[in-house]
Amino acid sequence: MSSRRKLPRALPRIGLAAAVLVAGTLTATYVGASGPGLDGFSDKVRGLVADMTLDEKISLVHGDKDPADIGEAGYTPGVPRLGIPALRLADGPAGLRLNEPSLAMPAPVALASSFDDKLADAYGATMGKEGRALGVDALLAPTVNSIRVPYGGRNFETFSEDPLVSSRTAAAETRGIAGQGMIPVVKHFAGNNQENDRETINLNIDERTLQENELQPFQAAVNAGAGAAMCQYSNLNGKPACANSDLLQGILREQMGFKGWVMSDWRMSLSSDAMNKGMDQEMPAGTYFKDELKKAVNDGKVPQAALDGSVARILGQMERFHLLDKPAPRPARDLAAGTRTAQQVAESGAVLLHNKDKALPLDGSQKSIAVIGARARDPKLGGGGSSHVQPKEKPTAPLDAIKSRAGSGTSVTYEVGEDPAGAAIPDSALSPGFKPGSGLEPGKQGAFYDGRLTVPTEGDYVLNVKATGGGGFVQVDGRTSALFGDTITTGYTGLTVHLTAGTHKVVLFGYSDYVEPLRVDLHWITPQAAQASIDKAVAAAKSARTAVVFASDDSSEGLDRPNLSLPGHQDALIKAVAAANPRTVVVLNTASAVKMPWLKDTAAVLDMWYPGQKGAEATAALLFGDVNPSGRLTQTFPADEDHTPVSGDPSAFPGVDGQVQYREGIYSGYRWYQKNSVKPLFPFGHGLTYTSFAYSGLKAARASDGGLDVSLTVRNTGSRPGKETPQVYIGPSPDVKVPQAQLALAGYSKVALKAGESRQVTVHVDPQQLKYWDTGSHSWHTGTGVREIKAGPSSAELPLTAKLTVT
Ligand code: BGC
């Protein structure tokens, strides 16, 4: 038995009504295997299906308790008498979530921001090997849902707003995972682009938008060898994504050619009829795909052949990954190599957003540095929810990494600026008083505190919670906080709220672990306390040559961000520090876009995302110029909340009356900003470097595969080696009458150039990038005619132009 406490295997549904599925009558869209009589499967698989009893088949299509319990998310016991081994499935996209601490990798959004397929392959291979070594057979990764809104709670866990960046990253990571003999499980099919109401909401996504934006990365992962797909919680165009034959049979299997199996997302309300609609396996338990399924098969409501098809799809992948052979020896862990990859990804994915007067890199003239911010001391490694990983090694604090890199000639001071722990709320302010350690007994969820908070003065208050044994959220006057909990963050997190003097309603909701009670401490930061610590930070910044402020958020699965501001008083802190010291550098540990009301006053902004267990070392290497930043934004950072694709339209996000309308259509991300001439804070593809690059000589020619070969010359015109990401965009087809993007990313590459070096780079544009989805024929068509090709370092800076006729 592991001595470590068990993490919840999935975030429970907090305060959300379970999606009610009316168990349908047999509409007989029965999903066969890959043909009648299990055609397409090997003799071995067909033989096994023929030899299995009904109970044995059913044991493969739902999860169960693992007697060995390694802390994995899902388990099926196998059929020992037939040599079918147990199958262990574990999260997830940012490392292995098991009882045994593992490599905490940088968040997938950091990986995608590297625009580096080789690194994505290495990232997948690292997790594949680590997981195989630790006894896992299938990895619940990658997450490939598109970043549709900057608020998305899981934006850190996925890749991009652009289908090409997502597809290439997904394909490379999938190959990396599969290459280690680990079954990649691509998720969440399809449209899991928001967390609010994810289990009840209906997403209205038109056919073309679904095909062109959301499904492309799934297709890429399927082509790259994903063995399973996880269907998602929400309803899509009126039907549950997990009981939807149009989606699972029509699109995933027939259109995309997927041969693997489909598992549910964790703890869904489904009936056994989901098997008739294309879902093969229920996770993590057998709520519906056990006794109910057995009865449905016996009553003929689920055809025996449907069950056989599901079993064969699971066995087919187990066979493909050699799990049905004499078990291959598990590899040894290679923590040293994995740790190097983790650091490389953190370095390559970091995006230098802003750098006035070459404030970065820090050089030898830094006699004194004031480091400010809670995350400089208590590093932010990853996001919250099922992707949360307990790091194998104690991560270095960025403060220590900066001190050791700066050396003894530099004085490095530290001020917290704002400590999210604040102070316990005195009984005089809260009625009834909150007993530290209050919470819920194991296995419970719901409201566990309901009281009144009285504040003497108007201002921004922070109510933060630290929890063990589960998590939850705080509500003040009906406004909901971010999730708190021990799979979300290591410290305090919660709600920043503007309160008038007087009394306000406070409610705490929570969920507890299966084995441990939920224990909660409720703290606050008053405007007065916040000002006092800002004053200390300002004093430290004044007496140093440079100030480095760490700012962060706590994004998590389960809930979207309520707004795009940094939580707490961090904006006020950065503003005050920047006013006191013009050489103020901001390091962001955030999931996605944030507002930067202080941007113009700061000298530099480096977005490290959630950088994993080597984040501190990577941050110091970038700040001091040992590594030249080369990451690019895979998502647009809006200038403010009134200028996003969903601003002012709650029906577009987060939804009204249980319906979300994807009104932006195919104009997602930068396509929307271009179409509406809205200037973002930072455009898609943006990222600075410590050197400079010049572009020249664009030539575009038809390639033998029907795509394009676009060549251009990139020269490193600065004095340091660096990496550049030339991006090629394509304009609309004049022959096509449907709406098209002004410019869409069609190809990119990443090149390393020494100072002064010049290189001709050929960026291949795959034929798929010249196509659009035709809703008349329900298929891909090439957009013919003279098309504009543009190239350069970001979507907003494309100095090279050419024209080419596409036939
Ligand atoms: C998440 C999945 C995850 C699963 C198992 C669910 O809540 O949506 O991404 O793989 O839990 O932990």
Q: What is the mean pLDDT of residues 640-658?
A: 97
Q: Residue with structure tokens 């306390």?
A: 529
pLDDT value at position 10?
Answer: 45
Torsion of CA 168, 169, 175, 176, to 10 degrees: 150
pLDDT at 37 over 90: no
| CA angle (163 as vertex; 783, 646 as ends), nearest 5 | 100
Compute, in angstroms, the gap from residue 265 CA to the centroid of ligand 1.
6
- What is the mean predicted confidence (pLDDT) over 470-486? 90
In this prediction, residue 28 has a pLDDT band, given cuts at 50, 70 and 90, of very low
Q: Where are the beta strands (DSSP E) in 487-572?
A: 493-499, 502-512, 518-525, 546-552
Calculate how far, in angstroms, residue 185's C-alpha sits from the geometric centre of ligand 1: 11
Q: Is 208 helix (H, G, I), strand (E, B) or coil?
A: helix
Whether the pLDDT of residue 35 is over 70: the answer is no
Pick from 327-331, 472-476, 723-727 the range whose average pLDDT is largest: 723-727
Which pLDDT score, from 0 to 100, does residue 99 have?
95
- Give the model confidence (pLDDT) of 111-159 as tens digits: 999 999 999 999 999 999 999 999 999 999 999 999 999 999 999 999 9
Q: What does the buried/exposed string (b/e) look like for 464-485 if buried means 16 or more CB atoms within 10 Å of the residue's CB?
A: bbbbbbbbbbbbbeeebbbbbb
From residue 178, alpha-carbon distances to 109, 129, 132, 170 in Å are: 20, 10, 11, 12
User: Is residue 20 over pLDDT 60?
Assistant: no
Round to whole Å and give the CA distance between 664 and 651.
Answer: 11
Q: Rounded to an integer, what distance in angstroms lies between the CA atom of residue 35 and that of residue 702?
A: 39
Q: How confident is the model at residue 14 (pLDDT cuts 50, 70, 90)?
A: very low
Output the pLDDT for position 513.
Answer: 85
pLDDT at residue number 787: 98
Report d(CA 148, CA 561) in Å as an integer. Answer: 13
Looking at the CA of residue 233, tell me the nearest atom of ligand 1.
8
Query: How long, in residues, is the chain?
Result: 807
Least confident span in 85-94, 253-262, 333-342, 360-369: 360-369
What percent of the chain has a predicted confidence (pLDDT) above 70?
A: 95
Q: At residue 237, does pLDDT exceed 60?
A: yes
Q: Which of 508-522, 570-584, 706-720, 736-750 has the lowest mean pLDDT?
A: 508-522
Token pair of 778 as six digits: 């329900």
pLDDT in tens, 343-391: 999 999 999 999 999 999 998 788 999 999 999 999 999 999 999 999 9
Structure tokens at 767: 């034929």
Q: What span, in angstroms and rounded, lies between the C-alpha atoms of 77 and 85? A: 7
Rg over alpha carbons for the chain, rounded to the nearest Å, is 26
3-state secondary structure of 560: coil
Q: Give pLDDT, residue 325.
A: 87
The ligand 1 site (C-beta within 6 Å) comprises: 9-11, 73, 91-92, 140, 187, 265-266, 386
For 268-315, what is each residue's pLDDT tens digit? Answer: 989 999 999 999 999 999 999 999 999 999 999 999 999 999 999 999
Decide: helix, strand or coil at residue 506. strand
Q: At what angle do helices 615-623 and 398-406 cross, to 10 degrees?
A: 40
Arithmetic mean of pLDDT over the chain: 94
Gap between the Cα atoms of 521 and 456, Å rounded = 22
Determine the Cα–Cα distance for residues 376 and 608; give it in Å rounded to an integer: 12
Average pLDDT over residues 85-102: 96
> Which of 72, 557, 559, 560 has most ligand 1 atoms within 8 Å of CB, for mutation?
557
Query: pLDDT tier at 213 (50, 70, 90 boundaries)?
Result: very high
CA of 138 to the centre of ligand 1 (A): 13
Residue type, 602: T
Q: Are 264 and 290 in contact (CB under 8 A)?
A: no
**Amino acid letter at 779?**
S
* CA of residue 608 to ligand 1 center, whole Å: 25
Task: Name the β-bridge partners of 590.
Answer: none
- State the distance from the centre of ligand 1 to the C-alpha of 203, rounded, in angstroms: 19
Q: Is the pLDDT of residue 161 over 90?
A: yes
Residue type at position 751: V
pLDDT given at position 15: 35
Give yes or no for residue 6 having a pLDDT over 60.
no
